[in-house]
A and B are shown apart, each in its own frame.
Chain A
Amino acid sequence: MSALARTPLFDLHRELSAKFIAFAGFEMPLHYADGIVAEHRWCREQAALFDVSHMGQIAVRGEAAARALEALVPGDIQGLPLGRARYTLFTDDSGGILDDLIVTNAGDELLLVVNAACRAQDLALLEQRLPPSARAVLLSDRALLALQGPASATVLARLAPGCAALRFMHSAEMELCGLPCRVSRSGYTGEDGFEISVPAEGAERVARALLAAAEVRPAGLGARDTLRLEAGLCLYGHDIDRTTSPIEAGLAWTIGKRRREEANFPGAARILRELREGPARRLVGLKPEGRAPAREGSEILFEGKVVGRVTSGGFGPTVGGPIALGYVPAQLAVPGTRLALSIRGRAEPAHIVDLPFVPHRYVR
């Protein structure tokens, strides 16, 4: 285990009886004493605190940084107003997805939050492809906390009253516990909530201040996964990767109107063709009709033939049963289509449902 990196909150996790797992080279809490289901429910009902410091925080600085970044993503970055955040994708020349990320316009720089497992590759891409006038800097001295759930705004406002004025995907610098933090109203659970970028040396102080609230309990990566799956949010390396296009993954909404017209992002030829003509397959929500969870890799069957695979699957605590995501041929990608999922060699009935499985409760 010594080869694994630890976040600035490692000692706090241990104090809170975390059960750890190795994730993307980090030793991260899978869950704490309450367990995944209780942590999941607490997040939907109150507020859960997640340590997501394993994610890469990168600043892109320099003149015309937004235009430079647009050469790597299909999102509208130049049109991103000050203090706003946007979900976008690094795409490759064949229209596959290299990573998904959040970009925030912080005024003098763009702030990127990327997946831990893709961090090195993303940095290399930025170093290679940004023009000399722009540069990418890994903010390795910062931790990232996610406070998620309906009580988040009430709790955070006690420490930083300014957070109440933020709406979904808005972001601002504010002081928490005397530390300069960047607070964004965003997350990966489908609930209202905030992501807080904090100087590493102050992370524990902020985490303890949040955990001191009666409404807040810690939650690990286990609950983070069940929450995002119920919210129908893609997980990189599972639901999206180099073999999937943004259109197949249902992420056409991330491609701005101007970007479509300019057609100057990596993979534009394929991506824009799929936008016009429709992709061959689509990512859909799958609801097994029985109680057995279908896991990642399970075959999706239609009229006895394999037509796709489950990319994420498990038990949804709020749904109260198994749920999954997977790719099916576009002509089948209609809510209500009945198919089957292969679970331990048996074809278990399932049907396609609208996403998300649990409605989002963002404050817009």
Chain B
Amino acid sequence: MSDLAEKADAAITKPPPWNDPFIRSIFFQIVAIGLLGYFFYSAFENTLSNMSKSGISTGFAFLGREAGFGILMSLIEYDETHTYGRTFFVGLLNTAIVAFCGIILATILGFIIGIARLSNNWLISKLAGVYIEIVRNVPLLLQIIFWSVAVLQALPGPRNSMQLGESFFLNNRGLFLPEPIYGDGFGIVVIAFFIAVAGTIFLKRWAKQRQEQSGDQFPVFYASIGMLIGLPGLVFLILGMPLSWEYAKLGRFSLTGGTNIIPEFMALLLALTMYTAAFIAEIVRSGIQAVTHGQTEAARALGLRNGPTLRLVVIPQAMRVIIPPLTSQYLNLTKNSSLATAIGYPDLVSVFAGTTLNQTGQALEIIAMTMAVYLTFSLTISAIMNWYNKRVALVER
């Protein structure tokens, strides 16, 4: 009897390997990974061999070949003699700039509207509400086309531009601004500006320390502005103003010279900003309402006025509710910028996944690169926002 029990014990502690749940689970996971890996490998191989069988060229060699087409707007030097690889960066930067400007403007507009929605003033809060409901519920593509048509149709031709003084022109070819021509020594002004920025950060720390020790407040905001404008301005004057402007002039067809902001950019930026701002406004409203009313009452009891209550008590607490959904709005805006192709703004999808793809015919490589760019953009934005979220998150004691 005891002999049997011993045997049973041994069997329990040491099952044969094919009955060991641990080994089994590892075995099946390895098999699953192996099968998955084989699926991707064979899919990849199959694609390549089928493509070469049907005479479609593959590989990334095309990136080094001359592109041979013009692009309307480029932040880096570009003309027809540059390579297809260069068109990738031109498109990438055009996407990045519209996404970057859009995120900043949408955040500002969204916060203003979100706070306006909570205003005690009946008219302001209703106006904000109407704005949100209208803009949020019309498809973005329609809005982009609306702004493109509105901007293009409403503006006059190059010969009858709307103008502000002799330097700013607005017509259906876009907004023409004077282009700065930097003289000798302008670099020193830039350096002075960065010194002022460093000074501002230092000043803020010092003021905070002082307030914590003595309770005295220091007007950091006005002092910083004075420093940021004053220091570079002073250097600029001392150096004898090493900056001149090149103004746009009317040529045979349009204005030449100066900096041109194309109407497609303006239309896309307007649409993306207004659309995303409506969502951000709702996020801000919900974030502020998530802070219990007791906090506001406590701030009032301490004698804080409306402004400081909002700025010092409510918003910091609302931020931790606001940040996660705000991140996803930023991601949406970046990805939505690919709708640019509908109005001819030369973004990554329009230039690289459009013209370059069609001229080379290498769809798989180009779409893969384009997807990788959006993925990288999105992951970068997420990483930055997660870092910020961690900073403002409530530290529970």
Determine if chain A interacts with chain B: no
